[in-house]
Amino acid sequence: MSNGRAATTGISERRIGLYGRILMTAALNPIVIIPARLAATRLPGKPLADIHGEPMIVRVWRRAVAADIGPVVVAVGDKEIADAIGAAGGKAVMTKVDHASGSDRIFEAVERVDPGRRHDVVVNLQGDLPTIEPSSVRRALAPLDEGEVAIATIASEITRPDERTDPNVVKAVAAIDPTTRIGRALYFSRLPVPSGDGPLYHHIGLYAFRRDALARFVKLPPSILELRERLEQLRALEAGMRIDVALVDTIPLGVDTPADLARARALLAHDSKPS
């Protein structure tokens, strides 16, 4: 691959896990795809919003490249975004403008750039997370060490009391194993669930799809709970697809409003090019 990592196949001692154990798994060959479009109601032109001399989408692309898990492609519906990524030295692929979701856009993109299906995992990284840690992108692959997991995602324990009841903070309901810090997702909600004593987990909208799982997911119609909660991942759970959640230590800032953009600029004031 272009990042210098040797591709491997078959069963191998692929890596040392976060907790020191050797993970014996079929080696994965991921590709990271970042969907982006200019249309946005709360922050028009969001992907091209300037953050200290660089468009936000370029900031996200750089962090995905720094994760070093595979090639990174930005799936765009607008030529202006493609031009910005190209000027930074990245790769962009044009997709249909009118996709209903980022998942649909990344599926079209991966079919275009990898028709031979060389990449067996597609990481969907939102283009409005300019502070995402590269280690969090890498961490999203950890649940796929379990062969029955169709989709992997990440979350972080909520520490701010106001986030527990904030409907804009999506909660991942999972019984997290204290050793691996991974658990099977049972539900996602905007409400503070589960009830009772114990942690709540802030879901971070980054997904690692097995290639076949992505193909199946985009063919499913919107589901009852998905429409009710306005959470696309519930479509997969309702269809019986297994989603596992890996914990990370930091919650990236999602940029949806001018106030969020100001916060991102403040957070990244001393970070010209993330490593």
Q: Which range is least confidently modeled, 24-38, 97-111, 126-140, 253-267?
A: 24-38
Whole-angstrom Cα Rg for the chain: 18
Burial of residue 45, with CB atoms counted within 10 A of its CB: 0-12 exposed, 13-18 middle, 19 or more buried: middle
Q: pLDDT band at 272, cuts 50/70/90? A: low
Given this model, what pLDDT does residue 19 score? 35
Q: Is the pLDDT of residue 189 over 90?
A: yes
Q: Which residue from 234, 270, 266, 271 is spatially nearest to 253, judged by alpha carbons?
A: 266
What's the length of the chain? Answer: 275
Share of the chain above pLDDT 70, in %: 89
Any alpha helices (H) in the chain, and if so which ranges?
A: 56-67, 79-87, 102-113, 134-139, 161-165, 211-219, 224-229, 233-238, 258-267
Share of the chain above pLDDT 90, in %: 82
Q: Which residue from 43, 131, 53 is spatially nearest to 88, judged by alpha carbons?
A: 53
The predicted-structure confidence for 34-62, as pLDDT tens digits, reads as follows 999 998 777 889 999 999 999 999 999 99
Q: Is the pLDDT of residue 5 over 60?
A: no
The rounded mean pLDDT for the chain is 89
Q: pLDDT band at 11, cuts 50/70/90? A: very low
Is the bond preceding residue 194 a cis peptide, omega within 30 degrees? yes
In sequence order, the 6+-apart residues with CB closer than 8 A to the CB of 226 are 232, 233, 234, 235, 238
The predicted-structure confidence for 123-181, as pLDDT tens digits, reads as follows 999 999 999 999 999 999 999 999 999 999 999 999 999 999 999 999 999 999 999 99
The predicted-structure confidence for 20-35, as pLDDT tens digits, reads as follows 333 334 589 999 999 9
Predicted structure pTM score: 0.87
The predicted-structure confidence for 59-90, as pLDDT tens digits, reads as follows 999 999 999 999 999 999 999 999 999 999 99
Residue 120 near residue 208, CB atoms below 8 Å: no
Given this model, what pLDDT does residue 98 score? 85
Alpha-carbon distance of 263 to 254, in angstroms, equals 10
Residue 264 near residue 161, CB atoms below 8 Å: no
Q: Which residue from 138, 121, 143 is spatially nearest to 246, judged by alpha carbons?
A: 143
Strand-pair category, 171-174 with 182-189: antiparallel
Q: Is the pLDDT of residue 244 over 60?
A: yes
